[in-house]
Structure 1
Amino acid sequence: MRRVGWKWVVGAGLLASSSVALACSDIGCEMSWNLFSGSYSCANRIAIGPGNDSRVNLFLLASDSAGQGLAATSYPKAEWEEEGFGQVFLDWQMLQNAIAPLPDDAERGYSGVMSRCDHLDAGAVAFNEALGAAKGLPAEEKAALIATRGSIGQSCKSDAVPVQWPTAIKSSAGWAFLGYLRASDAFYADNWDEARNGFSALRGAKEPWVAETAAYMLVRTEMAASQNKALDEYGYYTGLKGIDQAAVARAAQALGDYRKAYPQGRYAASAAGFERRVLWLAGNFDALGRQYESMLTARPVQDAQGLELVQEIDNKFLFNPDIEKPHGGGPMVLAAADLVAMRTVIDESGEVFEKPSLTAEDLASQQLAFATRPDLYAFVQANHAFYVAKDYRRVLALLPDDSHRPSYTPLAFSRQVLRGQALAALGDRNEAGFWRDLLNGATGLWQRPMVELGLTLNYERHGRLAEVFAAGSPVTRFELRDILLTHSAGAGLLRQVAGGGASAKERDRALYLLLYKQLSRGLYGDFLGDLAKVPTDAPWPAGEGTEAAQAALFSKGKVSDGFACGALGSTARTLASNAADPRALLCLGEFWRLNGYDGPQEQDRNPPAADLGGAVQEFAGAPLTRGAIYARVLASKSAGGEERAYALYRSVMCYAPSGYDGCGGTEVSVAQRKAWFNQLKAQFPKSPWAKKLRYYW
Structure 2
Amino acid sequence: MRLRGLPYLALTLGLLAAQQANASSDDSCYPSWNLKRDTLDVCNSLPFLSPGNDSRVNLQLLLADGGRATLPERPLSDDEQQLGYALVPFPLTRLFDEPPQADVAAPSGNAKPAAPLAELAVRIGLPADSVPAETESFANGEGSRCRSNNPATAQDFLAQLLLADVPAAERQSLARARLSLLQGCQWDDAQLSGILPSDIDSAPGHDFATYLEGVAAFYNGRFSDARQRFLSLGGSALPWVQETARYMLGRSQLNQAQQNAFDDMGYPDLRKVDRAPLKVAESDFKAYLEAYPQGRYAASAKGLLRRVYWLMNDQGRLAGEYAWLFAQPESAQGGADQAQWIAEVDNKLLVTAHPADVRDPRLLAVLDLMQMRHHEANEARALDLAGLQGQKALFAEQPGLHDYLLAAWQLYVEGNLEQARQSLPQTLPEKLDYLAFSQQTLRGFSLEAGNDWLGAEKLWLQLLPLARQPLQREQLELALAFNYERSDRLVKVFADNSPVRTPAIRELLLRHVAGPELLRQQAKAEAVPAEERDTALFSLLYKDLLHGHYANFINDLALLPAEPSTKPLTASLGFVYGNGMPLTLFQWPGGKGTSGYDCPAIRDIAVALQQQPQPPQALNCFGEFILRNNLDGFPLDSQPGPRELGGSPTLFDGALYSRLDGYMKVIADPQAGGDDKAYALFRAINCYAPSGYNGCGRQDIAPAQRKQWFRALKTQYAATSWAKSLKYYW
TM-score for both structures, normalised by structure 1: 0.87
Render the CA deviation track for 1:113-148: whole Å, top value 9, x for unaligned.
Answer: 663111122422222323333323442663365246
Alignment of 1:198-213 (within 5 A): 198-213=229-244
* Separation in structure 1 between the aligned mates of residue 314 and residue 587 of structure 2, nearest angstrom: 71
Most deviating of 141-150 and 193-202: 141-150
What's the counterpart of residue 412 of structure 2?
A: 387
Partners of 2:520 and 2:537 within 8 A in 1: yes
* Separation in structure 1 between the aligned mates of residue 641 and residue 196 of structure 2, nearest angstrom: 73
* Separation in structure 2 between the aligned mates of residue 641 and residue 438 of structure 1, nearest angstrom: 67
Partners of 2:507 and 2:572 within 8 A in 1: no
What's the counterpart of residue 440 of structure 2?
A: 416
Gaps of 5+ in 1: 1-12, 98-105, 346-350
* Separation in structure 1 between the aligned mates of residue 500 and residue 347 of structure 2, nearest angstrom: 38
Output the amino acid matched with 2:65.
D
* Separation in structure 1 between the aligned mates of residue 12 and residue 341 of structure 2, nearest angstrom: 15
Alignment of 1:236-275 (within 5 A): 236-239=267-270, 241-275=271-305
**Do the aligned partners of residues 556 and 202 (structure 1) sit closer, same or farther apart at CA in structure 2, a change above 3 Å counting?**
same
1:234 Cα offset (Å): 5.6
What's the counterpart of residue 672 of structure 2?
A: 639
Whether 2:373 is the aligned partner of 1:343: answer yes
What's the counterpart of residue 521 of structure 1?
A: 547
Partners of 1:485 and 1:510 within 8 A in 2: yes
1:180 Cα offset (Å): 2.5
Output the amino acid matched with 2:53.
N
**Do the aligned partners of residues 219 and 332 (structure 1) sit closer, same or farther apart at CA in structure 2, a change above 3 Å counting?**
same
Render the CA deviation track for 1:204-227: whole Å, top value 9, x for unaligned.
Answer: 334443332221111111111222
Whether 2:694 is the aligned partner of 1:693: answer no
Among 576, 584, 594, the residue aligned to 1:552: 584
Alignment of 1:500-519 (within 5 A): 500=525, 502-519=528-545
1:341 Cα offset (Å): 1.5
* Separation in structure 2 between the aligned mates of residue 601 and residue 29 of structure 1, nearest angstrom: 17
Render the CA deviation track for 1:361-401: whole Å, top value 9, x for unaligned.
Answer: 11121111011111111111111111112111122111123
Most deviating of 579-588 and 261-270: 261-270
1:421 Cα offset (Å): 0.6
Among 565, 569, 574, the residue aligned to 1:539: 565
1:432 Cα offset (Å): 1.7
* Separation in structure 1 between the aligned mates of residue 377 and residue 389 of structure 2, nearest angstrom: 26
Partners of 1:684 and 1:690 within 8 A in 2: yes
Partners of 2:12 and 2:347 within 8 A in 1: no
**Do the aligned partners of residues 110 and 35 (structure 1) sit closer, same or farther apart at CA in structure 2, a change above 3 Å counting?**
same
Output the amino acid matched with 2:636.
Q
Among 230, 246, 264, the residue aligned to 2:261: 230
Partners of 1:38 and 1:342 within 8 A in 2: yes
Partners of 1:288 and 1:329 within 8 A in 2: no
Alignment of 1:264-303 (within 5 A): 264-299=294-329
* Separation in structure 2 between the aligned mates of residue 160 and residue 553 of structure 1, nearest angstrom: 75
Output the amino acid matched with 1:691.
K
The percentage of counterpart residues that share the same residue type is 36
1:110 Cα offset (Å): 5.6
What's the counterpart of residue 625 of structure 1?
A: 658
**Do the aligned partners of residues 248 and 212 (structure 1) sit closer, same or farther apart at CA in structure 2, a change above 3 Å counting?**
same
What's the counterpart of residue 654 of structure 1?
A: 687
Most deviating of 305-314 and 13-22: 13-22
Among 129, 145, 152, the residue aligned to 1:116: 145
TM-score for both structures, normalised by structure 2: 0.83
Partners of 1:524 and 1:573 within 8 A in 2: yes
* Separation in structure 1 between the aligned mates of residue 156 and residue 495 of structure 2, nearest angstrom: 67
Alignment of 1:96-245 (within 5 A): 96=96, 109=101, 111=103, 115-121=144-150, 122-139=152-169, 142-143=172-173, 146-147=176-177, 149-151=179-181, 154=184, 162-163=191-192, 164-166=194-196, 168-172=198-202, 173-231=204-262, 235-239=266-270, 241-245=271-275
What's the counterpart of residue 623 of structure 2?
A: 589
Output the amino acid matched with 2:57.
V
Most deviating of 452-461 and 142-151: 142-151
Q: Give secondary structure in 1 for the equivalent of 2:393.
A: coil
**Do the aligned partners of residues 456 and 370 (structure 1) sit closer, same or farther apart at CA in structure 2, a change above 3 Å counting?**
same
Output the amino acid matched with 1:571.
I
* Separation in structure 2 between the aligned mates of residue 166 and residue 224 of structure 1, nearest angstrom: 23
Output the amino acid matched with 2:56.
R
1:675 Cα offset (Å): 4.4
Q: Give secondary structure in 2 for the equivalent of 1:609.
A: coil
Render the CA deviation track for 1:82-109: whole Å, top value 9, x for unaligned.
Answer: 7432022123431356xxxxxxxx8764
Partners of 1:487 and 1:603 within 8 A in 2: yes
**Do the aligned partners of residues 435 and 528 (structure 1) sit closer, same or farther apart at CA in structure 2, a change above 3 Å counting?**
same
What's the counterpart of residue 8 of structure 1?
A: none
* Separation in structure 2 between the aligned mates of residue 560 and residue 440 of structure 1, nearest angstrom: 59
Output the amino acid matched with 1:56.
V
1:287 Cα offset (Å): 3.1
Output the amino acid matched with 2:614.
A
Gaps of 5+ in 2: 1-9, 105-140, 574-579
Render the CA deviation track for 1:321-378: whole Å, top value 9, x for unaligned.
Answer: 3x34453332111111111121115xxxxx7784654211111211110111111111
What's the counterpart of residue 462 of structure 1?
A: 487
Partners of 2:282 and 2:305 within 8 A in 1: yes
**Do the aligned partners of residues 160 and 261 (structure 1) sit closer, same or farther apart at CA in structure 2, a change above 3 Å counting?**
same
Partners of 2:196 and 2:212 within 8 A in 1: no
* Separation in structure 1 between the aligned mates of residue 201 and residue 489 of structure 2, nearest angstrom: 88
Q: Give secondary structure in 1 for the equivalent of 2:544.
A: helix
Output the amino acid matched with 1:645.
A
* Separation in structure 2 between the aligned mates of residue 107 and residue 15 of structure 1, nearest angstrom: 9
Output the amino acid matched with 1:413.
F
Whether 2:120 is the aligned partner of 1:87: answer no
Partners of 1:184 and 1:195 within 8 A in 2: yes
Output the amino acid matched with 1:414.
S
Render the CA deviation track for 1:438-468: whole Å, top value 9, x for unaligned.
Answer: 2222233221221122222222222112222
RMSD: 3.2
**Do the aligned partners of residues 85 and 540 (structure 1) sit closer, same or farther apart at CA in structure 2, a change above 3 Å counting?**
closer
Output the amino acid matched with 1:248.
L
> What count of residue pairs does the alignment treat as equivalent?
663
**Do the aligned partners of residues 551 and 426 (structure 1) sit closer, same or farther apart at CA in structure 2, a change above 3 Å counting?**
same
**Do the aligned partners of residues 457 and 337 (structure 1) sit closer, same or farther apart at CA in structure 2, a change above 3 Å counting?**
same
Render the CA deviation track for 1:204-253: whole Å, top value 9, x for unaligned.
Answer: 334443332221111111111222343357643223x4333321221122
Among 446, 450, 460, the residue aligned to 1:435: 460
1:26 Cα offset (Å): 4.0
Q: Give secondary structure in 1 for the equivalent of 2:30.
A: coil
What's the counterpart of residue 65 of structure 1?
A: 66
